[in-house]
Structure 1
Amino acid sequence: MATCPKGHDSATLDYCEVCGARMGAAPSAAPAPSAPSAPAPTPSGEVCPVCGTPKAGRFCEEDGYDFLLAPPVTAAPSTPTAPPVASPPSVPPSAPSTPAATSWAVVVRADAGYFEVVKAMGGEDAGTLAMPRFVAERRFALTGQQMVIGRRSRSRGVNPDIDLVGPPEDPGVSHVHALLVPQEGGWAVVDMESANGTYLNDPNSNPLDPHVPVALKDGDVVYLGAWTALAIQST
């Protein structure tokens, strides 16, 4: 009796009389083990950028990568690259200097030369005028929208910014004598129809026209009253 490849005893030698298998055929080889299949990607197809494990939740199951908060990871280059050449440290450009803002002021003093000019004009009260022996210099910073020059008067409600009431009091100064007003790049003086006029730099010249701003520059002198001079200063 012959035995078929499946182990049956068969009297026939060509085909097994039990299962019909071809006699003498080599037993079929066992199927080769299949290679482990790659893990199925997640529905989104997103994988860990560090190890390539498919995303199964917020954190990678292999290395703990946080898909929600961690920054993207750039794969390292496959071939080594030369280190970049360090550039010399740059020096930040210095900021352009801003010129300091110009401040303006007036210095009030008694001027004996101007007093002599006023007396020579022979005004109504020229004969009664007397030059004071001492007048302390006073300094006023120019600020705001205007500076009123004059002498205060409670009855008239006048409170000038540059108050020349004294002592000693210059009787030739009107209660509201003139204004100093800011202009682009400086200040200007405006006569307010004063009784005795306002003069710029030269007391022998004509007085300023009322209500007309006249630009001032550093070093100008405004004369008014009987002996008062206001020197314009900028710093």
Structure 2
Amino acid sequence: MTTATCPKGHDSATLDYCDTCGAPMDGARVPDAVTGSGAPDPDVTQPVSPGCPRCGTPQDGRFCEVDGYDFLLAPPLPETPTAPIPPPGPAAGPAAGSAPRTGPGAAGTAAQPAGRLEVVVGADRAYFDGVVAQGGEDAGGMVFPRFAAQRRFPLTGERLLIGRRSRSRGVHPDIDLASPPEDPGVSHTHALLLNEGGKWSIVDLGSANGTYVNDPASAPIPAENPFPLRPGDRVYVGAWTSLTVREAQ
């Protein structure tokens, strides 16, 4: 039997007047299971897929196509701050009236990290010769730079974007390989360095020429899959660029 809900909330078997309270059924709501409409309730706010919290680009896949933000590994933080953690009870805290301990010997002081890492960016001639030997439509026009000063970037924060800046697309990589000499084989959003609990990995963001770790003659790492890195590892991108992970000096 078809039933509807009257404006006052009663279930009624009649569709003209409520058979419970007699109210007109003009504003009655018929369940979707009965009508088969399947249309969303206009009174219910539908969820909206969030955009990139860094640049606002709508989400289309796991990584932001502009700055490489990883929606899966690092979802945006809630805007509402969490409640503060209550202070410890008298048994866990210092004695009443005593001054708190400070300095290196203070109890509860966080341990210092074992070592800091950095990435050293340079031009690798052997890698370039291998790229040219593989051929390709642009191989004949590429020239190894006569001078390319090494640059060092500290591995800090949660993520570092590797690529080439583009004002028109709003791309501003943390490790910008558009600085002279510009490597033409590097995509604007080429790869992402991720920090997960102090352990670093690299993710290829679907670059045109791939990302290689340690052996540029092997297959590139799979796109959009974190590949772990350790001190001493070397990453190859573009036509001649190498990025070496090492202890900061």
TM-score over 0.5 (shorter chain):
yes
**Separation of aligned partners in 2, 1:169 and 1:211:** 24
2:135 to 102, 119, 122: 122
Where does structure 1 lack aligned partners over 5 or more consecutive residues? 1-92
**Separation of aligned partners in 2, 1:207 and 1:220:** 14
TM-score (norm 1): 0.57
Q: Is the 8 A contact 2:201 2:228 kept in 1?
A: yes
1:160 has 2:165 as partner? no
1:133 to 146, 162, 185: 146
Higher gyration radius (CA)? 1
Compute the displacement of 1:183 (Å). 2.2
List per-residue Cα deviations over 1:93-135 (Å, max 9, x = no partner). 9x9x955442111000000000001001112200111001110
TM-score (norm 2): 0.54
**Separation of aligned partners in 1, 2:111 and 2:177:** 37
Give the match for residue 110 of structure 1: 123
Give the match for residue 177 of structure 1: 190
Q: Percent identity?
A: 57
Give the match for residue 82 of structure 1: none
1:231 has 2:236 as partner? no
Give the match for residue 218 of structure 2: 205
What does residue range 212-227 of structure 1 map to in structure 2 within 5 Å? 212-227=225-240
Where does structure 2 lack aligned partners over 5 or more consecutive residues? 1-104
Amino acid across the alignment from 1:139 = R
Amino acid across the alignment from 1:190 = V
Amino acid across the alignment from 1:165 = A
Superposed CA RMSD: 2.1
Give the match for residue 52 of structure 1: none
**Separation of aligned partners in 1, 2:177 and 2:113:** 31
